[in-house]
Structure 1
Amino acid sequence: MHKVTLGSQGLTVSAQGLGCMGMSQSYGPADDTTSIATLHRAIELGVTLLDTADIYGATGIYGFGANEKLLGYALDGRRDEVQIATKCGIQDINPEQSSKFTLGAAPAYVKQACEASLKRLRTDHIDLYYLHRVDPATPIEDTIGAMAELVAEGKVRYLGVSETTAEQLERAHAVHPISAIQSEYSLWTRGIEDEVLPAARRLGIGIVPFSPLGRGFLTGSLGADATFGKGDFRASNPRFRAENADANQSLVEVIREVAAAHEVLPGQVALAWVHSRGDDIVPIPGTKRSTYLEQNAAAAELKLTGDDLARLATLADAVSGARY
């Protein structure tokens, strides 16, 4: 895996990262043994940007902070081989409706959250610390100001924000340089292209797409009749409801045809498209399995043709169902 610079402050990471949330929640039962093996395999492949958050695990059986604890255990003795990204700002999630967050990003809370994350991760610094969601009760300037103090104290190396508007991104960056913005971005979710992506590029901020495989739908492995077990939030996601999933299969068919021409998998085409959007884009596909990790990592080197990109360009226009 080749390296890239994320943002303008010098953060060097792998061109593709690994989203770790699904190891602890949202996508079925956790399997720590499998997840740890996948984390170790990621390092072997040069996938060194590992993305977690303090809230990951809150909807699973292990609870708040479980995913950070998992990484802390898995990275024992290997901390210097990776870049850890974690987040604060979501204090709780309703397990029955994951879009219902309890937000909190007051300066004092941010300081406490960082100390707790450092302890769970078994490290003395966080490479990339994100504001997970903007707290409407706290001006973003106050939150970023507290995070900037963590940088000054050496507890955090670089700052990021997640799912902000372009205007919020500007305000945050005015307080302290922001190295990355994390937002959902894929062949079927392209909303950031209107305002957020141009603003990030004008400010020299890297883009970290989460769910670049459409929560697995764009891999072609989920038919319209797919069912999801307990603990899998896709069971209530609008795009996976039967009527929408059936309509969305037309997107997957196009991806399959492009994949067949390259003799690769549909998911690799979907990821290659995200990579094609620019060297300032570092997607973080999530998985708990080494096999999928290896497939995803290979997609970082897949080059799509101009004709491929033209065919894929309009898929988002045909998506059925809201993303949440």
Structure 2
Amino acid sequence: MKYRKLGETDLNPSVITFGAWAAGGWMWGGTERKDAIDAIKASYELGVNTIDTAPIYGQGTSEEIVGEAIQGLPRDKVLILTKFGMRWDSIQGDFAFKSKDNSGKDIDIYKYAGKESIVKECEDSLRRLRTDYIDLYQIHWPDKTTAIEETMEAVAQLIKDGKVRHAGVCNYNVPQMEEAERTLKLASNQVPYSMVKRDIEQGIIPYCQQHHKSIIAYSPLERGLLTGKMKPGHIFGEGDHRAGLHYFQEENLKRTNAFLESIKPLADDKHISLGQLVLLWTLEQPGITITLVGARDTQQAVQNAKAVDSTISTDELAFITEKLSQLQLAV
């Protein structure tokens, strides 16, 4: 495994970080708790020392799974990244969307990052995670109803209290990061980034490079699209959010798979999967520090972790990027 420094902190996360959204089941058609726990443990054995989760993932389920999985592991060898600011048990803040929990019950999701709410969320997360501190605490989405200063003051107090080590943000634009930085030092911005979603290369990545902030790239495999396993005609299970995404429309699946076939000989030469090749490419893009990669079972977790056992050359990167430039997806 390889590790990279997170911003200007003393954290050194594994470049392949375990993303625990799917493990929580919510929006992914349910969860198999034991499989998820085994996947986290298998990742750790292969050097994955970092797990990213959030309260909203399964309405506490993902954090509980992470908390159970790390029992018995040396706490100082595991980096726990979690979030705050998305409430399903409160009607304060900015209404985000309607959803269903893992049992099929209707729930309303709100973006809310008021001070008292953050303090409560932190206590709840610590309990579910079975730990007394969080390594990186991140606002999940911007909350337009709460001043950024108030939000960051609350996190600064949690750091002072020893419940949080470092602060990060998710899905923030540059002006929002600048405003947050007036109150406390940010380590990172967690944002979507993949071969087919590269808009952060304009603005966010240059800012983070200039100010020594890490980019935590989520959905680098674009929710499975870039593994080559999603074929035209694929039927998603009930509750799987991907069914409504344009990436998985028939024409886009055809175009994406044609691109993946064009780079498959490179993966074959390295004796790795297409997904592993995609992760190698992603980790070599300017400004990208680590990738969050989800896994719902041990086999997926092991494959993700072993991606960095291989290397990719400058010429190979250029070859893939050239092929990628020819891919145009329908919106």
Matching residue of 1:80: 76
Q: Does residue 276 of the first structure (1) align with residue 284 of the second (2)?
A: yes
Please report how far the alpha carbon of residue 101 of structure 1 lies from its aligned counterpart in structure 2 after TM superposition.
Answer: 4.7
1:109-188 maps to which residues of 2 (within 5 A)? 109-188=117-196
- Secondary structure, counterpart of 2:266 in structure 1: helix
Matching residue of 2:52: 51
* CA distance, structure 2, for counterparts of residue 317 and residue 129 of structure 1: 38
Q: Does residue 15 of the first structure (1) align with residue 15 of the second (2)?
A: yes
Matching residue of 1:318: 327
* CA distance, structure 2, for counterparts of residue 186 and residue 162 of structure 1: 16
Deviates more, 1:170-179 or 1:187-196: 170-179
Please report how far the alpha carbon of residue 238 of structure 1 lies from its aligned counterpart in structure 2 after TM superposition.
Answer: 1.3
* CA distance, structure 2, for counterparts of residue 77 and residue 138 of structure 1: 39
Deviates more, 1:19-28 or 1:147-156: 19-28
Matching residue of 1:208: 216
Deviation digits for residues 153-187 of structure 1 (CA, Å, limit 9, x no counterpart): 10000111001111111221221111111111111
Deviation digits for residues 230-289 of structure 1 (CA, Å, limit 9, x no counterpart): 121111111112232223223222332331232321001100011112585110110111
Q: Does residue 65 of the first structure (1) align with residue 60 of the second (2)?
A: yes
* CA distance, structure 2, for counterparts of residue 169 and residue 197 of structure 1: 12
Percentage of identical aligned residues: 33
* CA distance, structure 2, for counterparts of residue 46 and residue 176 of structure 1: 31
Deviation digits for residues 181-213 of structure 1 (CA, Å, limit 9, x no counterpart): 111111111111100011111111111111111
Aligned 8 A contact 2:85 2:139 in 1: yes
* CA distance, structure 2, for counterparts of residue 137 and residue 162 of structure 1: 17
* CA distance, structure 1, for counterparts of residue 199 and residue 286 of structure 2: 16
1:180-259 maps to which residues of 2 (within 5 A)? 180-259=188-267
- Which amino acid counterpart does residue 141 of structure 1 have in structure 2? E
Aligned 8 A contact 1:127 1:156 in 2: yes
- Which amino acid counterpart does residue 98 of structure 2 have in structure 1? N
Matching residue of 1:60: none
* CA distance, structure 1, for counterparts of residue 286 and residue 34 of structure 2: 35
* CA distance, structure 1, for counterparts of residue 234 and residue 204 of structure 2: 33
Please report how far the alpha carbon of residue 321 of structure 1 lies from its aligned counterpart in structure 2 after TM superposition.
Answer: 4.3
Deviation digits for residues 216-235 of structure 1 (CA, Å, limit 9, x no counterpart): 11110111221111121111
- Which amino acid counterpart does residue 44 of structure 1 have in structure 2? E
Please report how far the alpha carbon of residue 94 of structure 1 lies from its aligned counterpart in structure 2 after TM superposition.
Answer: 2.1
Deviation digits for residues 299-323 of structure 1 (CA, Å, limit 9, x no counterpart): 223222223212322526634245x
Matching residue of 1:292: 300
Please report how far the alpha carbon of residue 19 of structure 1 lies from its aligned counterpart in structure 2 after TM superposition.
Answer: 0.2
> How many corresponding residue pairs?
315
Aligned 8 A contact 1:86 1:128 in 2: yes
Aligned 8 A contact 2:17 2:290 in 1: yes
1:168 to 1:321, Cα distance in 2 relative to 1, 3 A: farther
Aligned 8 A contact 1:6 1:280 in 2: no
Matching residue of 2:86: 90
Please report how far the alpha carbon of residue 292 of structure 1 lies from its aligned counterpart in structure 2 after TM superposition.
Answer: 1.5
Deviates more, 1:64-73 or 1:253-262: 253-262
Matching residue of 2:37: 36
Over aligned residues, Cα RMSD in angstroms?
2.0
* CA distance, structure 2, for counterparts of residue 82 and residue 321 of structure 1: 41
- Secondary structure, counterpart of 1:3 in structure 2: coil
- Secondary structure, counterpart of 2:12 in structure 1: strand
* CA distance, structure 2, for counterparts of residue 160 and residue 216 of structure 1: 26
- Which amino acid counterpart does residue 327 of structure 2 have in structure 1? A
Aligned 8 A contact 1:187 1:212 in 2: yes
Deviates more, 1:162-171 or 1:295-304: 295-304
- Secondary structure, counterpart of 2:293 in structure 1: coil
- Which amino acid counterpart does residue 70 of structure 2 have in structure 1? L
Aligned 8 A contact 1:189 1:316 in 2: no
- Which amino acid counterpart does residue 268 of structure 2 have in structure 1? A
* CA distance, structure 1, for counterparts of residue 326 and residue 152 of structure 2: 35
Please report how far the alpha carbon of residue 145 of structure 1 lies from its aligned counterpart in structure 2 after TM superposition.
Answer: 1.4
Deviation digits for residues 94-153 of structure 1 (CA, Å, limit 9, x no counterpart): 227xxx952101111111111111111111100110000010011212211111110011
Aligned 8 A contact 1:14 1:47 in 2: yes
